[in-house]
Amino acid sequence: MKHHLTYQDKTSNKFWQAECFGNTLVITEGQVGLNRKIEIKTFSHEKETSAEVETLWNEKLKEGYKKPSGLSESEEDELFRRIKKESDFHNRVEIAESGLSEISDKNRKKLLKQLIEDCDCVLMGLGTADGDEYDGEDEFYPEMIQEETGLSPVEARNVYNLKFSEYKSQLKSS
């Protein structure tokens, strides 16, 4: 389950996102493609994960974050243009995720397919192993992900595998 909030004022345009994958919680916050941080928390039980999300959600609402409203047709078109224009796959995932809870039913499958494709590309860039065993597409990609998100290559593979599986499941059920 994904929870997404945004914060906008004269000087900033930020987001906060929490994703629950069983007893694992992935929190992403910052600006899309800039100054963002991804944190992974693991709990003993799913109930603890849900309770943590609720606590964090309420804190963010008190800070002035808001739940996004639905996108207009032109805003959806702009969302897809921004995704296509972005060259880094992990940034494409963030842009697409920012609209997932707001997208119309008409474009939901299209956005889920885009998320699956881009998560897959991130995973190809990360490879399946590190060091001498690295087998990814770009030897500098894991380092770039770590610098931009704070996730080690192992953590990044875990997060993007969870996202990939979740989006495939959502597409199958839609």
Please say whether the dihedral angle defined by the alpha carbons of residues 104, 31, 120 and 26, taken in this order, is positive or negative: negative
* pTM of the predicted protein model: 0.86
Instruction: Indicate the length of the chain as a whole number.
Output: 174
Residues forming beta bridges with residue 20, ordered by sequence position: 25
When pLDDT is averaged across residues 158-167 and rounded to a whole number, the result is: 96
> Could you tell me which CATH number the domain at 2-62 has?
2.20.140.10
Q: How confident is the model over 6-34, as pLDDT tens digits? A: 998 888 889 999 999 999 999 999 986 67
**Domain ranges for the chain:** 2-62, 73-173
Q: How confident is the model over 83-142, as pLDDT tens digits? A: 999 999 999 999 999 899 899 999 999 999 999 999 999 999 999 988 888 898 888 999
Q: At what angle do helices 89-100 and 73-85 cross, to 10 degrees?
A: 170
> Distance between CA atoms of 150 and 83, rounded to whole angstroms?
22
pLDDT for the residue numbered 31: 86
